[in-house]
Structures are given as C-alpha cells and as structure tokens.
Amino acid sequence: MVEHTDAAEVTREDRLITEEPLEIRVRSGSLPPRRAWVTMRTPGHDFELAAGWLVNEGLAGPSSISQVAYCTDDDLAPEQEFNVVTVNVTGTTALPHRHESASSGSSACGVCGKDSVVE
C-alpha cells in the first residue's frame, strides 16, 4: 500500500484480518456434545469466547465449565478443525433451539445462523 502525504509517498504493509465461523458445542456429563451456536469471529481467544457466550446466555455458570477444547471429530474437514469448540460443563444444561436464544448473529456471507459449520 502507498500512503500519499504532502511531504512524500510512504510504502506500508497492508494487513487484513479475516473472520471465520465458530461452532460452539456443549457436552454435559456423559451425553454427546450438542451444537449450541454458530457465530462469526476473528480467530483467536476462541475458548474464552465460547465460555463467555455460554455464561452470558445463562446456559452455564463460570464454575460449571470444566474444559474447552477444539473438536477433533472425523467429520470435520482440515479447514474446519479450529472452527469448532466443545465446552464441557458439570451438571446438566438445557440448550434451547437456536432461534429461542437471546443472542443474534448475522453475516454478509450468510454463515451465521447456520446450524453447523459442518453441514
């Protein structure tokens, strides 16, 4: 990129930040993980985002979150590997249908609002 000023032209590096979908899954006890939400985010701090979202939605208390990890499911393509996290919670949690959630998501690319990044 070239910046034009009154004094000179200055060449600078042009940096872009990407957004990618993040699917948040919740595992309660011995039950298999269930999708809770898909949102767009700038990659990084995914575990904090997932845990914070669950607490904000009232689906988990801060002390009930025992682990957050990226999913390693066989049905995930390599490019999806870091776009799905599972949050393990102690006790039970009732996940509402995604349209009953207090959160809303939108994206010009149309990814937000999907039930899964896999399907």
Residues with catalytic function: 109
User: 20 forms bridges with which residues in the sheet?
Assistant: 41
Q: What are phi and psi of 34, to 5 degrees?
A: -120, 145
Q: What is d(CA 48, CA 22) in angstroms, rounded to the nearest whole number?
A: 12
Residue whose entry in the numeric block shows the structure tokens 């957050």: 68
Cβ burial 4-31 (10 Å sphere, 16+ → b, else e) = eeeeeeeeeeeeeeeebbbbbbbbbeee
